[in-house]
C-alpha cells in the first residue's frame, strides 16, 4: 500500500478507474464480492468463481489499469503482464499463491489467484500495541528465506521478488507466511514525469539503478524485519537510513545477534550482505539455536582499551587540578587547588616555577606577551612573568574569579563572581571599564569584531562594545550561563545550564537555533570545520552542525562532562567526571582511546605537538600522546 | 536519437543568443547611491515552461530596510514552492504554502524584530522557521489533501540568511567561485548519491529523479531542515525550483549570473536557459544580490 504516494498520473488513474461494484461478473465467471485493497498499482477484490456452483470457491482478483497513453507502450505492458503471469504459473510453493487465470478487458488486466485467508504483516503490526516478539519475527523471516531461495533458484532465470515489505507478506490461518503481489505491478512502471512524493522505503539502493539481484530481496527482507521489530516505518523516513537506527536503539528487547543479522542484510553494498537467502536463513536459525549463549559477540565492534595509552609524563600537585592548562613556548601553565600556578616543561613535565596565591585556582591561565594571566579564588587577577614567575601586577575584584582572562587591544577581559565583567589594562592592571551583570560571571569572554561576548549566572549572554563596555545586545536563556562562548561564521555558540546549546546571531543576538541535551551544559563549545563539539552533564559529548544545530553524532561517556572538548588531528579530546580522558574520532564519533586517571576530570585538554595536556582531581597533570 | 541532436542544436543556439544579449545590454550602474551601507537587489521570475499545462510553482518576496543600533539594516523574506498533485491542486498547494509561511514568519520574526532593539530574548529563528513550514504543511493537507509542495524560505537580516527547507527546490550561495548548494534535496536520487549508489551525472537522467521523500502537505509530522548562511557583500543567494537546476548545469547558471548586469536580468536569462534546455518543468528563480 503506497498510500503516501501522490503522482499526477495515478490520481487520474483512480478517477478513471473507480472500483468495480459488488456483483460485477468478469469473463462470465468471477463475481466480485468486495474490494480487499486499493494499492498504488492496482485494486484487489475478493471474488467468487461461479463455475463452482455447489461450493463458494473464493479467489482473489487483481486488477491493473494500464494507463499508458501510447498504444505501443500499452501493448508492451500487457505482454509483460502475461509473461509474468506465466512465470507465476510455473511456480509451485506453499508460500506462493496459486494462479488460476489471467485475462485483459479493455485497458484493464486481471489476475485470478488463490485467496489467502489471514492478514498481512503490516495490518498485524498496526494492530499490535507492543513490539512483536523476536522469535515470531525470526520464524517468519526463515519462512521468507525459504521461499526466496526457491524463486532465486528458478530455472532458467532466477526470479527476483523486488517488492518485499510487510504488506506483501500474508500470515495465513495456519500461521504460515505467503508472499503476495508478485512483482507484477512493476512492469507497469513507466517513466513518470513531474515531481512526485513517496518512496518504497524497503527497496535496496541498487534497485534504483535498475540492478535486480537476489541479494536485493535479502536487503528488503532486512528492511521488513527492521520495521517489524522496531515499528519504525521506513516509508516515513529518508530512504536507506536503517543503519542510523540500530534495532536495539529503538527496541532494546532485540538481541545483539539478531541486530547483527538484520544489519548485515541491510548493507548498502550488495557484496557486504548475505550471499543468498539461504545463508541468511542459516544465520537466523543459528540465533534460535544459540539462544541463551552469552559468549556470542557480533564481532564488528572494535575493542579499545586504555592500556594502550601511556602518559608521556605526569606531574603531581598538592591538591586537585580543576584548571585547564595553557601551553606556550614549550611550557605548560596550570593552576591547582593547592593555591599554586605551575609552570612545567612541556616535553618532560619537569617543574620550572610556581606562583602561590591565597586561594585555589579554578580558572585557566592566558598568555599575553611574556606574562601569564590568571584569576584565583582569593578574588585577585594576577599577572606574572612567564619566564620567572615573578609578579607584574594584580587586580583585585569583589569575589572569587573562575572566569579565564582573554586579551585584546592590550586589555584583559574577565568575569568575577562579584557580577562584573572587567576590562583592565594588560600593562598595569588598571580598570578601563566594568560591566555589571545581575549574578556571577564564570563564563570566559570571547572577542570578535570589537565585541566582547560573555555569559553570566543571571542566565544572559551579553554582547558588549569593546571600547566602552556598553551593551549591544543581550539574550536570556532559561538558566545560568557558565559555558564560554565560541564564535564562528557570524554566530556565537554557548551552552546554558537550561540544558540547551545556543547559536546566536553575532550581530543581533537573535537565537538562530538551540539544541537540547538531557542536562546542564557547562562545557564550552569547540568548533572545527562547520561542526561544534560540546559536552553535557547528561554524560554525552555532542557533535552538532554549526549552521543548523543538527546532531551529527554523540558519544556517551560514563559520567558527566564538564570539561570543554579540544579538537586536533581528526580527534576530539575531553575529560569526564568518570575519571577518564577520552579521544573520539571526529568523523564517526567512535572511541579511539581512553585513559583512566585517579579522579574526576573537569579540566579541559590543551592539545599541541602530538600531546594532550590535562589535569585531574587526583591532583595530577597528565601529558598523553594523541 | 533525433531528439538529442535537436537539443544540442537548441543549446548551442541558445548560448549564442545569450552572448549576443550581453553585447547589447549595457551594464547598469548600481543604483544604491541614496542608501547608506548594506543593501540588496532582488530579481525574480517564474515561467510555466514548454511542456506543462499549469505553472505549479509559486514565490513570495518582501524586502525593506530599517535602522537598528545606528545601522541601516536590510530585511527580506523570500520563498519559493513547487507544487504537485493533479488538477491544479499543485498550484493551490504551493501558493497557499508560501502565504502561510510568510504570515507566520512576519508574526514570529519580523514584527518582534521591529519592536525591540537590544533584548533579543526569544525562541530561536530555526524554531520559527520549523513552525512556519509545519503550519503551511497542515494548511495544505487540510485544503488540498491529495497535493503536496516543496518549500524553501530564506529570511535575510543584514548579511545573515536563515533558511527553512523541505523538498527539492534549492538555495545556492553564489560567489565569484561559482554556485554552492546550501540545501539538501529530499529526493530519492540525492540519497542515492550520498550513498555512492549514483553519480550526480546519472542523477540528472535517473528515471526516479523526481521522487521526493519529504514534502509539505502530507499529514503527520514533517522534519524541516534549517540552515544559517552568511552573505558577504558581493555574494548572492539564489532560490530556484527543479525546473531550473534540473535543466541548466550549475556552471552554466553561475556563468549566466556572473554575466548579467542585474539580478532581474540574471533571473530572466536563467529561465530562458532552462527553456532552451527543454523547459520540461515549471521554472522559478529568485536571486538576491548583496551590495555595500
Whole-number Å distance between alpha carbons of A125 and A132: 7
Nearest residue of chain A to residue B191 (CA atoms): A239
Residue A448: its pLDDT value, please? 94
Whole-number Å distance between alpha carbons of A396 and A270: 68
Whole-number Å distance between alpha carbons of A594 and A304: 8
DSSP line for A577-589? TTSEEEEEETTT-
Place of cell 620567572: A388
User: What is the value of pTM for the model shown?
Assistant: 0.76
- How many angstroms separate the CA of residue A53 from the nearest CA in chain B? 43
**Which residues of B fall within a CB distance of 8 Å from A475?**
120-121
* Segment A133-146 mean pLDDT: 95
CB neighbour list of residue B127: distance below 8 Å, 6 or more residues apart: A513, A514
DSSP line for B95-108? HHHHHHHHHHHIII
> In terms of pLDDT, which residue wins out, B114 or A513?
A513
Pairing, β A606-608 against β A591-596? unpaired
CATH number for A8-114 (one of 1.10.4080.10, 3.40.50.720, 3.100.10.20, 3.30.200.20): it is: 3.30.200.20
Nearest residue of chain A to residue B223 (CA atoms): A237
In a domain, B95, yes or no: yes
CB neighbour list of residue B190: distance below 8 Å, 6 or more residues apart: B168, B184, B203
**Which residues of A fall within a CB distance of 8 Å from B228?**
489-491, 503, 512-513, 546-548
Residue B29: its pLDDT value, please? 53
Q: How confident is the model at residue A479 (pLDDT cuts 50, 70, 90)?
A: very high
In a domain, B18, yes or no: no
Which of A193, A240, A512 comes nearest B125 by C-beta? A512
Cβ atoms of residues A565 and A574 within 8 Å: yes
Which residues 479-508 in chain A show a CB within 8 A of chain B? 489-491, 502-505, 507-508
Q: Is the pLDDT of residue A508 over 90?
A: no
Q: Is the pLDDT of residue A596 over 70?
A: yes
**Which residues of B fall within a CB distance of 8 Å from A238?**
186, 191, 213-214
In a domain, B250, yes or no: yes
Q: Is the pLDDT of residue B142 over 90?
A: yes
Taking only the tens place, the pLDDT of each residue in B4-31 is: 333 433 333 333 333 333 444 444 454 5
Taking only the tens place, the pLDDT of each residue in B161-184 is: 999 999 999 999 999 999 999 999
Whole-number Å distance between alpha carbons of B186 and A69: 30
Q: Is the pLDDT of residue A347 over 80?
A: yes
Q: How confident is the model at residue A183 (pLDDT cuts 50, 70, 90)?
A: low
Whole-number Å distance between alpha carbons of B174 and B267: 13
Which residues 140-169 in chain A show a CB within 8 A of chain B? none
Residue A194: its pLDDT value, please? 52
- Is B160 in Cβ contact with A505 (below 8 Å)? yes
Q: Is the pLDDT of residue B207 over 80?
A: no
Into which CATH architecture does domain A119-188+202-290 fall? Answer: Orthogonal Bundle (1.10)
Q: Is the pLDDT of residue A444 over 60?
A: yes
Among A150, A166, A32, A152, which Cα is nearest to A93's? A150
* Segment A214-218 mean pLDDT: 92
Taking only the tens place, the pLDDT of each residue in A389-415 is: 999 999 999 999 999 999 999 999 999
Taking only the tens place, the pLDDT of each residue in A155-171 is: 877 888 888 999 899 99
Taking only the tens place, the pLDDT of each residue in A50-73 is: 988 888 889 999 887 776 667 777
* Average model confidence (pLDDT) across chain A: 87
Least confident window among A184-198, A265-279, A445-459, A460-474: A184-198
In a domain, B75, yes or no: yes
Residue B36: its pLDDT value, please? 58
In a domain, B15, yes or no: no
Phi–psi pair at A109, nearest 5 degrees: -115, 145
As for the ipTM of the complex, it is 0.76
Q: Residue B134 CA to chain centroid, in angstroms?
A: 19
In a domain, B12, yes or no: no
Name the residue range of residue B261's domain: 35-291
SS3 content of chain A, % helix, strand, coil (to 5): 20, 35, 45
- Is A7 in Cβ contact with B84 (below 8 Å)? yes
Among A561, A553, A551, which Cα is nearest to A603's? A561
**Which residues of A fall within a CB distance of 8 Å from B85?**
6, 8, 11
- Is B195 in Cβ contact with A475 (below 8 Å)? no
* Segment A500-515 mean pLDDT: 93
Which residues 236-255 in chain A show a CB within 8 A of chain B? 236-240
- How many angstroms separate the CA of residue B20 from the nearest CA in chain A? 33
Taking only the tens place, the pLDDT of each residue in A350-392 is: 999 999 999 999 989 999 999 999 999 999 999 999 999 999 9
* Segment A198-224 mean pLDDT: 85
Residue A317: its pLDDT value, please? 93
Which cell numbers hold the place of A605? 585538554
Q: Is the pLDDT of residue A297 over 70?
A: no
Q: How many domains does chain B have?
A: 1
Sheet holding A611-615, edge to edge: A313-316, A620-625, A611-615, A606-608
* Segment A101-121 mean pLDDT: 88
Which of B123, B208, B218 comes nearest A4 by C-beta? B218
- How many angstroms separate the CA of residue A609 from the nearest CA in chain B? 33
* Segment A184-189 mean pLDDT: 43
Among A31, A40, A42, which Cα is nearest to A3's? A40
Q: Is the pLDDT of residue B285 over 50?
A: yes
Least confident window among A12-26, A127-141, A526-540, B194-208: A12-26
Nearest residue of chain A to residue B123 (CA atoms): A511
Q: Residue A500 CA to chain centroid, in angstroms?
A: 18
Taking only the tens place, the pLDDT of each residue in A537-590 is: 999 999 999 999 999 999 999 999 999 999 998 999 999 999 999 999 999 899
Residue A41: its pLDDT value, please? 61
In a domain, B30, yes or no: no
List the Cα angle B49/B52/B55 in 5-degree steps: 70
Q: How confident is the model at residue A442 (pLDDT cuts 50, 70, 90)?
A: very high
- How many angstroms separate the CA of residue A516 from the nearest CA in chain B? 12
Q: Residue B94 CA to chain centroid, in angstroms?
A: 13
Domain boundaries along the sequence of chain A: 8-114, 119-188+202-290
Which of A6, A502, A548 comes nearest B84 by C-beta? A6
Nearest residue of chain A to residue B146 (CA atoms): A6
Where residue B218 sits, what CATH number does that domain have? Answer: 3.60.40.10
Q: How far is CA A96 from CA A53, A145, A170, A259, in A?
A: 26, 13, 10, 28
Residue A301: its pLDDT value, please? 31
Which of B189, B211, B230 comes nearest A198 by C-beta? B211
Which of B68, B197, B225 comes nearest A206 by C-beta? B197
- Is B126 in Cβ contact with A513 (below 8 Å)? yes
Amino acid at each position: 500500500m503506497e498510500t503516501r504516494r501522490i503522482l499526477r498520473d495515478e490520481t487520474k488513474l483512480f478517477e478513471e478507474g473507480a472500483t468495480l461494484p459488488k456483483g460485477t461478473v468478469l469473463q462470465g465467471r468471477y463475481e466480485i464480492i468486495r474490494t480487499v485493497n486499493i494499492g498504488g498499482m492496482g485494486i484487489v477484490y475478493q471474488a467468487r468463481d461461479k463455475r463452482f456452483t455447489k461450493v463458494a470457491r473464493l479467489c482473489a482478483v487483481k486488477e491493473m489499469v494500464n494507463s499508458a497513453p501510447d498504444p505501443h507502450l500499452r501493448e508492451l505492458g500487457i505482454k509483460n503482464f502475461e509473461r509474468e503471469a506465466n512465470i507465476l504459473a510455473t511456480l509451485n510453493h506453499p508460500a506462493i499463491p496459486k494462479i488460476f487465470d489471467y485475462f485483459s478487458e479493455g485497458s484493464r488486466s486481471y489476475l485470478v489467484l488463490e485467496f489467502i485467508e489471514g492478514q498481512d504483516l503490516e495490518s498485524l503490526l498496526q494492530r499490535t500495541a507492543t513490539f512483536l516478539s523476536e522469535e515470531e519475527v525470526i520464524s517468519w523471516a526463515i519462512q521468507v528465506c525459504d521461499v526466496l531461495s526457491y524463486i532465486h533458484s528458478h530455472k532458467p532465470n532466477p526470479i527476483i521478488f523486488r517488492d518485499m515489505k510487510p504488506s506483501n507478506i500474508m500470515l495465513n490461518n495456519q500461521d504460515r507466511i505467503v508472499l503476495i503481489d508478485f512483482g507484477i505491478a512493476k512492469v507497469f512502471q513507466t517513466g513518470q514525469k513531474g515531481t512526485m512524493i513517496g518512496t518504497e522505503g524497503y527497496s535496496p539502493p541498487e534497485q534504483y539503478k535498475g540492478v535486480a539481484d537476489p541479494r536485493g530481496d535479502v536487503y528488503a527482507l532486512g528492511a521488513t524485519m527492521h520495521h517489524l521489530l522496531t515499528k519504525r516505518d521506513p516509508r516515513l523516513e529518508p530512504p536507506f537510513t536503517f543503519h542510523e537506527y540500530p534495532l536495539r536503539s529503538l527496541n532494546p528487547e532485540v538481541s545483539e545477534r539478531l541486530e547483527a543479522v538484520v544489519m548485515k542484510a541491510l548493507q548498502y553494498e550488495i557484496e557486504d550482505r548475505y550471499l543468498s537467502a539461504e545463508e541468511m536463513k542459516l544465520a537466523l536459525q543459528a540465533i534460535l539455536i544459540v539462544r541463551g549463549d552469552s559468549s556470542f559477540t557480533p564481532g564488528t565492534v572494535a575493542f579499545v582499551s586504555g592500556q594502550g595509552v601511556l602518559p608521556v609524563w605526569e606531574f603531581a600537585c598538592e591538591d586537585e587540578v580543576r584548571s585547564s592548562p595553557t601551553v606556550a613556548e614549550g611550557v605548560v601553565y596550570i593552576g591547582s587547588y593547592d593555591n599554586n600556578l605551575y609552570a612545567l616543561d612541556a616535553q618532560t613535565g619537569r617543574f620550572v616555577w610556581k606562583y602561590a596565591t591565597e586561594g585555589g585556582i579554578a580558572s585557566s591561565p592566558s598568555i599575553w606577551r611574556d606574562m601569564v594571566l590568571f584569576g584565583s579564588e582569593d578574588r585577585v587577577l594576577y599577572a606574572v612573568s612567564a619566564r620567572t614567575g615573578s609578579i607584574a601586577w594584580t587586580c583585585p575584584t569583589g569575589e572569587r574569579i573562575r572566569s579565564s582572562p582573554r586579551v585584546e587591544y592590550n586589555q584583559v577581559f574577565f568575569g568575577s563572581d562579584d557580577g562584573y565583567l572587567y576590562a583592565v589594562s594588560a600593562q598595569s592592571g588598571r580598570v578601563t571599564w566594568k560591566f555589571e551583570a545581575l549574578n556571577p560571571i564564570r563564563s570566559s569572554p570571547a572577542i570578535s569584531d570589537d565585541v566582547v561576548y560573555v555569559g553570566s549566572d543571571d542566565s544572559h549572554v551579553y554582547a558588549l562594545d569593546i571600547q566602552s563596555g556598553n551593551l549591544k545586545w543581550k539574550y536570556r536563556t532559561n538558566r545560568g550561563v557558565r559555558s564560554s562562548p565560541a564564535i564562528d561564521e557570524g554566530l556565537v555558540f554557548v551552552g546554558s545550564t537550561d540544558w540547551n546549546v545556543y547559536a546566536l546571531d553575532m550581530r543581533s543576538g537573535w537565537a538562530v537555533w538551540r539544541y537540547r541535551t538531557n542536562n546542564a551544559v557547562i562545557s564550552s563549545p569547540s568548533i572545527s570545520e562547520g561542526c561544534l563539539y560540546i559536552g553535557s552533564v547528561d554524560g554525552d559529548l555532542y557533535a552538532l552542525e554549526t549552521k543548523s544545530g543538527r546532531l551529527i553524532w554523540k558519544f556517551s561517556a560514563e559520567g558527566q562532562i564538564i570539561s570543554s572538548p579540544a579538537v586536533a588531528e581528526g580527534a576530539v579530546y575531553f575529560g569526564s567526571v568518570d575519571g577518564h580522558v577520552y579521544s573520539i574520532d571526529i568523523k564517526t564519533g567512535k572511541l579511539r582511546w581512553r585513559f583512566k586517571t585517579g579522579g574526576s576530570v573537569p579540566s579541559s585538554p590543551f592539545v599541541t605537538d602530538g600531546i594532550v595536556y590535562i589535569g585531574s582531581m587526583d591532583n595530577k597533570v597528565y601529558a598523553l600522546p594523541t | 536519437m533525433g531528439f538529442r541532436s535537436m537539443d544540442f542544436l537548441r543549446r548551442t543556439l541558445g548560448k549564442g543568443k545569450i552572448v549576443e544579449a550581453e553585447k547589447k545590454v549595457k551594464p547598469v550602474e548600481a543604483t544604491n547611491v541614496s542608501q547608506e551601507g548594506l543593501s540588496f537587489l532582488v530579481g525574480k521570475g517564474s515561467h510555466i515552461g514548454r511542456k506543462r499545462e499549469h505553472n505549479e510553482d509559486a514565490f513570495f518576496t518582501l524586502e525593506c530596510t530599517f535602522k537598528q543600533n545606528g545601522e541601516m539594516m536590510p530585511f527580506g523574506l523570500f520563498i519559493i514552492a513547487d507544487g504537485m498533485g493533479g488538477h491544479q491542486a499543485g498550484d493551490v498547494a504551493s501558493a497557499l504554502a508560501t502565504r502561510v509561511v510568510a504570515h507566520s514568519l512576519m508574526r514570529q520574526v519580523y514584527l518582534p524584530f521591529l519592536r525591540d532593539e537590544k533584548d533579543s530574548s526569544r525562541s530561536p529563528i530555526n524554531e520559527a522557521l520549523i513552525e512556519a513550514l509545519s503550519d503551511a504543511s497542515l494548511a495544505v493537507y487540510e485544503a488540498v489533501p491529495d497535493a503536496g509542495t516543496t518549500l524553501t524560505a530564506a529570511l535575510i537580516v543584514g548579511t545573515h540568511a536563515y533558511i527553512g527547507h523541505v523538498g527539492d527546490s534549492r538555495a545556492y550561495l553564489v560567489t565569484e567561485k561559482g554556485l554552492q548548494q546550501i540545501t539538501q534535496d529530499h529526493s530519492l536520487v540525492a540519497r542515492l548519491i550520498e550513498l555512492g549508489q549514483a553519480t550526480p551525472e546519472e542523477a540528472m537522467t535517473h528515471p526516479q529523479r523526481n521522487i521526493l521523500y519529504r514534502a509539505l502537505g502530507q499529514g503527520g509530522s514533517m522534519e524541516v531542515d534549517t540552515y544559517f548562511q552568511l552573505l558577504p557583500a558581493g555574494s548572492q543567494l539564489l532560490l530556484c525550483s527543479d525546473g531550473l537546476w534540473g535543466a541548466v548545469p550549475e556552471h552554466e547558471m553561475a556563468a549566466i549570473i556572473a554575466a548579467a548586469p542585474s539580478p532581474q536580468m540574471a533571473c530572466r536569462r536563467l529561465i530562458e536557459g532552462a527553456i532552451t534546455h527543454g523547459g520540461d518543468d515549471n521554472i522559478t528563480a529568485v536571486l538576491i544580490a548583496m551590495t555595500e
